[in-house]
Amino acid sequence: MRMLSWNVRGLGKAAKRRAVQKVIRQHRCELALLQKMKLEVVTDVIVRRIWISDNFEYLFAPKVGRTGGILVIWDKERFV
């Protein structure tokens, strides 16, 4: 299993999302745990811009106050 855990300190900018996707692609990650993403809402569109395929599922906890939120994305063929 290839897993990534990253304190991204914000995913609001396109450049940051591209950087995260580049690392996920480079290491062929099957599971990504992104902390401090600083987003209140995460949509399929945002996740598609980060993940390397359309075969994914995700869960997130939005930012609350000063806490940054968490996004977990995984390859749904690898995890049930």
> What does the pLDDT look like over 29-79, one tens digit per residue?
999 999 999 888 999 999 999 999 999 999 999 988 888 899 999 999 998
Residue 37 domain-assigned (yes or no):
yes
Residue 80 domain-assigned (yes or no):
no
Which pair of structure tokens corresponds to residue 57? 């599922």
- pLDDT of res. 45: 92
- pLDDT of res. 65: 84
- pLDDT of res. 67: 84
Residue 18 domain-assigned (yes or no):
yes
Whole-angstrom CA distances from 15 to 11, 48, 55, 74 are 9, 14, 23, 22
Query: What number is the average pLDDT over the span 5-27?
Result: 94
Which pair of structure tokens corresponds to residue 56? 């994914």
Domain count, the chain: 1
Residue 46 domain-assigned (yes or no):
yes
Closest CA to 74 of 58, 60, 50, 53: 58
- pLDDT of res. 26: 96
Residue 32 domain-assigned (yes or no):
yes
Domain that holds residue 17: 3-75
Residue 26 domain-assigned (yes or no):
yes
